[in-house]
Amino acid sequence: MAFRWTPDLTEKDVTDEAAWLNRRQIMAGLGGLAAAGFAGGAHAAEGLEPNSWEEITSYNNYYEFGTGKDDPARYAGDLTIAPWTVKIDGLVDRPGNYTFEDIMSKMTLEERIYRFRCVEAWSMVVPWTGFELADLLGLAGVQSGARYVAFETVLRPEEMPGVSRRVLDWPYVEGLRLDEAMNPLTIMATGIYGRDIPRQNGAPLRLVVPWKYGFKSIKSVVRISVVDSEPPTAWNKSNPSEYGFYSNVNPQVDHPRWSQATEREIGGGLFASRKPTLMFNGYEDEVAGLYEGMDLSRNF
- The whole-model pTM stands at 0.88
> Is 297 within the bounds of a domain?
no
Torsion of CA 96, 97, 99, 103, to 10 degrees: 30
pLDDT reading at 14 higher than 90: no
- pLDDT (tens digit per residue) in 147-163: 999 999 999 999 999 99
pLDDT reading at 15 higher than 70: no
> Is 298 within the bounds of a domain?
no
> Is 29 within the bounds of a domain?
yes
Residue 177's nearest CA partner among 240, 215, 133 is: 133
Binding residues: 60, 63-64, 118, 153, 201, 206, 217-219
What's the number of domains the chain is made of?
1
- pLDDT (tens digit per residue) in 112-150: 999 999 999 999 999 999 999 999 999 999 999 999 999
**Angstrom distances, CA of residue 87 to CA of 92, 99, 152, 232, 247:** 12, 9, 10, 18, 25
> Is 5 within the bounds of a domain?
no
* Lowest mean pLDDT across 14-18, 152-156, 199-203, 242-246: 14-18
> Is 255 within the bounds of a domain?
yes
C-alpha–C-alpha distance, residues 89 and 84, integer Å: 16
All residues at 6 or more sequence positions from 30 whose CB lies less than 8 Å from its CB, including other chains: none
Q: Is 258 helix (H, G, I), strand (E, B) or coil?
A: strand
Task: Determine contact, residues 299/292, Cβ cutoff 8 Å.
Answer: no
Which amino acid does the sequence have at 235?
Answer: W
Instruction: Assign residue 184 the CATH number of its domain.
Output: 3.90.420.10
Binding residues for Mo-molybdopterin: 60, 63-64, 118, 153, 201, 206, 217-219
Which amino acid does the sequence have at 259?
Answer: S
H-helix segments, 216-283: 234-238
**What are the start-end ranges of the E strands in the chain?**
85-90, 96-99, 110-117, 122-132, 148-153, 173-177, 187-192, 195-196, 206-208, 221-227, 262-265, 275-276
pLDDT reading at 26 higher than 90: no
- pLDDT (tens digit per residue) in 167-191: 999 999 999 999 999 999 999 999 9
**In which domain, by residue range, is 278 found?**
11-291
> Is 243 within the bounds of a domain?
yes
C-alpha–C-alpha distance, residues 86 and 108, integer Å: 18
Which amino acid does the sequence have at 173?
Answer: V
Task: Determine contact, residues 277/32, Cβ cutoff 8 Å.
Answer: no
Q: Is 293 helix (H, G, I), strand (E, B) or coil?
A: coil
> Is 160 within the bounds of a domain?
yes
All residues at 6 or more sequence positions from 18 whose CB lies less than 8 Å from its CB, including other chains: none
* pLDDT band, very low/low/confident/very high, at 8 (cuts 50, 70, 90): low
* pLDDT band, very low/low/confident/very high, at 207 (cuts 50, 70, 90): very high
Q: Answer whether the bond into residue 157 is a cis peptide, omega within 30°.
A: no
> Is 30 within the bounds of a domain?
yes
